[in-house]
Structure 1
Amino acid sequence: MSRIVVFGAGGRVGRAAVAEARRRGHEVTEAGHEGATDVRDQRAVAAVAAGHDAAINAAAVYGEGTDPGTFFPTAARALLAGLAEAGVRRLVSVGLAVVKPGPDGVRLMDSPGFPAEFLPFCLAHASGFDVLRSEGDAVDWLYLSPVGDFDAEGERTGHYTVGEHGDMAARISHADFAIALVDEAQGPKHHREHLVVT
């Protein structure tokens, strides 16, 4: 079994990833919530990640009083540097499908009619992903997104599909998305790319 550290373990995706990893018998460290490890602090990341085989990052900020524009790129840099320092080579990070170019080469967030109120959060996610792409040579990272959105009430079916593109109207349960996260953490099949899960 593996040792997996989950950043953002207090959120819905993080909790689902922790549950899925423990269901399989992995040793899991929960980090980055309720005053625990700050995912934006390289030293804190390195300290908590030491001795682990892989990391899952589900940490995010949203809403009043938060600054996603600095959170996501800062967290990406701290994770890359901290994990490399700790000798953890695998990072599976949760992202947004709207920051990925579609079959026409245009990101959904750049398309006409995209809701302006969501754009700052999406741009912040995109800047975090850009850090992974441009600075992530020392870590075997993967950026996974639900193809459309989460089905908050959805049950665990045990099935999912990973691909380049998908139907943006699709929904996936947190539990099924967590299966994909843990699969890629424990047995990497995809490397240094952005894929969508449905």
Structure 2
Amino acid sequence: MARATAAKVDTSIAVLEAAKKVLHQNGYAKLSTRDVAAAAGVPLSQIHYHFGSKQGMLLALYEYLNSQLLDRQNAMYANTTLTLSQQWDLACDYLDDDIASGYVRIMQELVAASWSDPEVAKVLRAGLKGWLDLLTEAARRAERSFGSLGPFSAEEIAGLVAQAFIGGESLYLLGAEQEGLPVRRVLRRVGDLIRFAEGNSSKR
């Protein structure tokens, strides 16, 4: 029984990894379960068995990828040896890594799919909430450290950060950096602003 369960999990992961590869290569518009099955080396029936449909596979792919992202972010924010500015720098490093690995393209393809699929949108919003909760708690720690976030609440700071990164990803994929817009450089400069605030806070 345990062996059968392990085999089922292994097949599911193989299909999700194949879906990630095919989605990155072909985009959502050209994504087919037949291509995913071929990339995974499994019969097409296995996709329907494990996920029910193309939509079910996409929802499972998002949850699979988002859990990895949240694990990474949780570990970063739990590292008390890092200052807030160092955590921001690391988040920017992660963005560079995610662009290079294709993760950003995959996530943005899923966001685009959600515009016409309410069920995908619902799952993406739920996943985004986990990230926003982490950002909000980080903003609250900053507020305790700095004494104030100016006119912003912790929730508003979290919203600004989320919009900055998600918007930055979209602009990067549009080729804005090639046209001279300093997308990632601007994000990294926010780390300098946080360092400035940390320096002022330490002088009080």
Task: Give the structure-2-normalised TM-score.
Answer: 0.34
More strand by share: 1
Structure exhibiting the larger radius of gyration computed from Cα positions: 2
Q: Which has the higher contact order (CA 8 A, sep 6+)?
A: 1
Task: Give the structure-1-normalised TM-score.
Answer: 0.34
